[in-house]
Amino acid sequence: MGRSPCCEKAHTNKGAWTKEEDDRLIAYIRTHGEGCWRSLPKAAGLLRCGKSCRLRWINYLRPDLKRGNFTEEEDELIIKLHSLLGNKWSLIAGRLPGRTDNEIKNYWNTHIRRKLMNRGIDPTTHRPINEPAPDVKTISFASKEEEIIKITTSSSTTGLFMSKEEKSPVRERCPDLNLDLKISPPSQHQQEQPLKTGGRTTSLCFACSLGIQKSKDCNCSIIDGTSSSNTTGYDFLGLKTSVLDYRRLEMK
């Protein structure tokens, strides 16, 4: 029963990776692809733990990584996503192509936290620092059988809006985002109901759905309603469907 240990820690290198180690890892993955991290170090001739190899590849060596400074738009996107998702760095990274969870986490802790503090905003709650503790809205992923998002609120006095789907009061935590959530298994994706403008369909891009209009990432388009390839508009967290498939959120 069970499997053998992942690696012998006594015989593995730790700390910063050398150029030679990087080259070995890159060469191996180019040839064999990302496979079993456990067996990779031995196969690639690396004295590293598989976990360490995975981290090095994902956070630093992957060819599709976007290196360099974060743009102002990325900053704002991270802030908005964080206000929705909290410290779910992998989910946030999933919405920022070329960025890793580790990179975003570090950037948050070193730059954005301070930026928000300077704006007088609590980086944890995303509310003005002097404001009393808000009602907490929790988003919990319920059992797989149900596959629904439950949105709960502890108390309510102000700033409430009624979710069409939940039929229960939900307090806005991020005022410029309407968390009109639905979720269902992918197979049950219902027909998209895009905005119609005179026989044509307006599709909001992800950037606009998050309130970042006029960004360079804005790809809002007036599309033909009969098109089968692009009839869906971005919705919550940029999902190209009106039904949230939470599993897609976990892509990375």
Residue 173 CA to residue 152 CA, distance in Å, equals 12
- Residue from 41, 50, 123, 233 in contact with DNA (CB under 7 A): 50
106 binds DNA (CB under 7 A): yes
Least distance from C-beta 75 to DNA, angstroms?
Answer: 12
Residues numbered 65-104 forming contacts with DNA, rule: CB under 7 A? 87-91, 101-103
| Under rule CB under 7 A, residue 215 binds DNA | no
Binding pattern for the stretch 107-146 against DNA, x by CB under 7 A and - elsewhere: x-xxx--x--------------------------------
Distance separating alpha carbons of residues 207 and 214, to the nearest angstrom:
8
- Contact track, DNA, 4-33, x by CB under 7 A: xxx------xxxxx----------------
Determine the interface stretch with DNA among 44-52, 128-136, 177-185, 230-238 (rule: CB under 7 A): 44-52
The size of the interface with DNA (CB under 7 A), counted in residues, is 40
Smaller CB separation from DNA, 105 or 200: 105
Distances 153 to 138, 178, 216 between C-alpha atoms, Å: 7, 15, 36
User: In the complex, what is the shortest distance from the CB of residue 102 to DNA, in angstroms, rounded to a whole number?
Assistant: 5
| Shorter beta-carbon distance to DNA: residue 224 or 250 | 250
Alpha-carbon gap, residue 17 to 32, rounded angstroms: 21
Binding site for DNA (CB under 7 A): 1-6, 13-17, 35-38, 50-52, 54-56, 59-60, 87-91, 101-103, 105-107, 109-111, 114, 250, 252
